[in-house]
Structure 1
Amino acid sequence: MPQARTMAGRCRLLALVVLITFGVVTLLQSLQTTPSIHDIRSSIRGHKFGGPGARRHQSNRVRIKKVTALFGEPNYLYEAAIATHERHNALHGYQMQVLRQRIHASFLAKPAYLMSVLVEELAKPWDERVQWLAWVDPDTLVLNQQVPLDLFIPPSDEEINLIATHDDDGYFNGGVFFLRVDSWSLEFLIQVLAVPLTDRKHHVSLNKDHTALEQIMESQRFRSRVTYQPRLWYNAFDSNKTFEGESGDLMVHLLDLGGDKWARMDKYLGNVTSKINPYEMPLEQTRYGKEVQGFWKRMADSRRILKEAKLKEKGHDGIKEAARRLRFALDFETDNDVVMKDAYGSLLRALYENK
C-alpha cells in the first residue's frame, strides 16, 4: 500500500507539472506583445546606433535567437542596452524576443519565458526554426559588434545542449547562457519549473530563477550535456568601476553596482556609440580565435582519453581515480583551463604508467 500511494503521488505530481507547463506556455505566448525588438528606436536619449556596420549579415551561420525580459517602469538605459543587441542582431542575422509584461512577482520568469519561446520554435519546421536560444539579461551591453555568437556554439560532434558561465564564487551566473532548441531542452525546462513543487528549500532562495536552473543543470540526468565556458568571453562584469575583460571582448554585464549602476551604464553606452569605440576591433584581432579553438580541442581530447581509460581502468586504481577526476572536471569545471589541463595530464600519466 505505501508503494502504491507513492506511485500515485508521483503520477499526480507529473500531471500537475504537465498542466503547469502548458498553462505557462499559453500564458506567455499571449503576453508576447514584442515578438522582436526591431521597433525599438535607433536613438535613445542621445545614444545613437547604426553606421556602416549595421547592415544585416547574410551567411549560412547557426540560426540563433536572443531572449530577454524588460518590464516595469520605463528605463531608457535598459532600452539603450537592448538597442546594442539590436545592432548586433542586424549585423549577424539574429532574431530577438523580449518579455514586456511581468508574469508574477515570485514566479520563475526566466525559465518560463524561455520555455514559451522554445515551444514556439519547436512547433516550426526544422529549416524555419532557430537552432539555439541565447538568454541575455537586459543589463548586458554589446561592446564589440564584430564578435558573432556563433563562435561559442559547439562543433557538430559535441553533444552539448546548454552553455553557461560561473561567477567568481563558482556558482552559475544566468546573465548570458545558450540553450539548444530540441526536446532535451524542453525536458530540462520542465524539470526547472517543477523545482518549487519538489524542493521546499527553494522557496527561501534569493534568486529563484538561477537556483532552480543550477539545481537541474547539475543533476545527474542533465549535467553531461552542460558545459561551462570562460565568463570573460561574453559575460564579463564591471568590478570596482573597471571592466574585467579586455578590448575586443563581446559584452559587459552590469550587475550589483548599487547606485553607480546607471552612471556606469551611461558611460559604456557613450563609448560604444561614439565614432571611436574603444572596445571594438575585428574578430581576428581579439582573443577569441585561439582560446575558443583550444577550449573545444580540450573537450574532444578529454572525451577521447576517457574512452581509452574505460577500457583499462579495471584493476588499476590510479587510472580509475584519474578518470573520475577528469569526468568531474568535464561536468563542472570546463571553464577552468588550469583544472582541465591538470586533470587531463594526470589521466595521461596514469595510462602511461600502467601500460
Structure 2
Amino acid sequence: MLYGQPNELYELALKTHERHSKQHGYEMHVLRRGITGGYWNKLAFLLKLVIQELEKPESERTDWIMYTDASTLLLNHLLPLHIFLPPSSPEFAHIHFLSSRSPTGTLNADVFFLHIDPWTVKFLIRAMAVPMIDQQVQLGHAMDATAMALVLNETEFRGAAMYQPAGWYHGVQTREGFSGHAGDLLVSLPAELMGERWRFLREWVERLGREGGRYGVSLRETNYPALIATFWERVRRARGVLRDAEEFAERERGDVNEELKRAIGRLKDAIVWMPESEDVLGEAEEACRRGMKAPPTMR
C-alpha cells in the first residue's frame, strides 16, 4: 500500500520489490488510493485480490499472495518466493496463512503469505469485523496486526496458520543494527523506529544503490534450502505423532486419559506457534507418546 502524501523513500523502496517481481514473473499490486478508514484498507485490499483470484478458473489462479508493507526493501532479488510455501502434499493442504512472530511473540503483519482459498476470505472478513463485533477490544496502534492475531487464535482459524522463522523473510532494522545478513530476502523498518525510520530507509536505499550486488545471493549459495527442508521435515514428523495420538484417542474414546488430551492440545499449539523449535516440538511429541502409554483416567 502506498497512498497519501508523496514519499520519495517509499517509492524507492517499492522499486526493489518491482525489480524482484519482474525478475521472477510475479504480478505486483499496489494500493494507491485509500479504500476506507485506515484500519480496514490493508484487509479490504487483500480481500479484493483474493476474491478476484477465486473468480478465475482454478487452473488460472495465483496460488498464494505475499503481502509486504511499504516500509520494507527487497534485498535479495535472486530468491524466488515459492521456497517458503508448504510442500505440495495433502498433509500440508490445510495451511492457508504463513507469517512469523516478533521476539515478543506478536504477529509480524508487515510481511505474510495468504493462500488463495475460501478460508482466506472468511479470515479477512472476520479480521475486519473484530472492532465491530467486540467494541471493548483494545487493538492498540497496530490495529490490523492485533485483529489478525486475535482471529488466528480462534479455534476455527488457528489450525490453518503456521509461524515460520522470522529470519527467513522478516529481517528487521533496529537502532542497534540489521538482524539479518547478506543473502536474506528483505529488511523491514518497523514503526518502533519512529522518526529514525526515514534515516534508516534512506541509508538502505543508498546502500543498495552502492553495493546491492552483495545482497543478491543465489538460492543454492544460501542456507535456505537446508533450513527449509529441515523445517518441513520437523513439521511432518510432529504431525505424524499428532495423527497417531488422535487416532489412539478416537479408538479409546471414553477411556482416554487427561494427560493425553492435554498433550494433544499442546502439540497442536506447538505445530502452529513454534514449529521452528526442535525442543518445543520434541517435548510436545514426547508428551503425546507418554499419554498414549498412561492408564485411562478413572471416573
- Count of aligned pairs: 286
1:245 correspondence with 2:180? yes
Correspondence for 1:111: 43
Q: Offset of 1:350 from its aligned partner?
A: 5.4
CA distance in structure 1 between the aligned counterparts of 2:279 and 2:19, rounded to whole angstroms: 36
Helix, strand or coil: the match of 1:174?
coil
Compare the two structures and name the one with the higher helix fraction: 2
Task: Give the Å deviation of 1:81.
Answer: 0.8
Q: Distance in 2 between matches of 1:79 and 1:202?
A: 34
2:284 is equivalent to residue 343 of structure 1? yes
Gaps of 5+ in 1: 1-68
- Give the conservation status (yes or no) of the 8 Å contact 2:75–2:212: no
Which residue number in structure 2 is paired with residue 291 of structure 1? 227
Question: How far, CA to CA, are the matches of 2:178 and 2:85 in structure 1?
Answer: 24
1:146 to 58, 74, 78: 78
The question of whether the paired residues in 2 share the 8 Å contact of 1:108 and 1:208 is answered with no
User: 1:40-62 CA deviation, whole Å, 9 max, x = no partner?
Assistant: xxxxxxxxxxxxxxxxxxxxxxx
Q: Residue 72 of structure 1: SS of its match in structure 2? A: coil
Picking from 5, 9, 33, the partner of 1:101 is 33
Residue 238 of structure 1, CA deviation: 0.8
1:198 deviates by 0.6
Aligned in 2, Cα 1:85/1:325: closer, same or farther, shift over 3 Å? same
After TM superposition, the score normalised by the length of structure 1 is 0.75
State the Cα deviation string for residues 5-38 of structure 1 (Å, max 9, x = none).
xxxxxxxxxxxxxxxxxxxxxxxxxxxxxxxxxx
Corresponding position of 1:323: 264
User: Would you say 1:307 and 2:276 are equivalent positions?
Assistant: no
1:123 aligns with 55
* Partner of residue 222, structure 1: 157
Structure 2: runs of 5+ lacking an equivalent: none
Task: Pick closer, same or farther for the CA change 1:297–1:75 going to 2, 3 Å.
Answer: same
3-state SS of 2:231 partner = helix
Separation (CA, whole Å) in 1 of partners of 2:214 and 2:125: 42
Post-superposition shift, 1:171? 1.0
Matched residue of 2:65: which SS?
strand
- Structure 2 CA distance for aligned equivalents of residues 202 and 311 of structure 1: 38
Q: Residue 23 of structure 2 aligns with which residue? A: 91
CA distance in 2, matches of 1:163, 1:275: 31
- 1:235–1:276 Cα change, 3 Å: closer
Contact 1:312–1:319 (CA under 8 A) maintained in structure 2: no
The one-letter code of the counterpart of 1:234 is: Y
Deviations 1:269-301 (A, max 9, x none): 223233553322111121211111111111111
**1:44 alignment partner in structure 2:** none
RMSD: 2.1
Q: Deviations over 1:101-152 (max 9, x none)?
A: 1234444111111011111111122222211111100111111111111001
- Matched residue SS, 2:59: coil
- Tell me the percent identity: 34
Secondary structure at the counterpart of residue 281 of structure 1: coil
More strand as a share of residues:
1
In structure 2, what is the Cα distance between the partners aligned to 1:216 and 1:276?
38
TM-score, normalised to structure 2's length? Answer: 0.88
Call closer, same or farther: CA 1:237–1:125 in 2, change over 3 Å.
Answer: same
Q: Distance in 2 between matches of 1:204 and 1:184?
A: 23
Taking the aligned partners of 2:220 and 2:294, their CA distance within structure 1 comes to 41
- Paired with 1:284 and 1:348, the residues of 2 have a C-alpha distance of 37
> Aligned partners of 1:199 and 1:249: how far apart in 2?
39
State how far apart, in whole Å, the 2-side matches of 1:259 and 1:278 are: 28
Aligned to 1:52: none
Query: 1:199-237 deviations in whole A, cap 9, x for unaligned?
Result: 112366322211211111111001111110011110111
Taking CA–CA contacts closer than 8 Å with sequence separation of 6 or more, which of the two structures ends up with the larger relative contact order? 2
Deviates further, 265-274 or 210-219: 265-274
Q: Give the Cα–Cα distance (whole angstroms) in 2 for the partners of residues 252 and 341 of structure 1.
A: 31
Distance 1:286 1:160, change over 3 A: same
User: Which residue does the alignment assign to 1:27?
Assistant: none
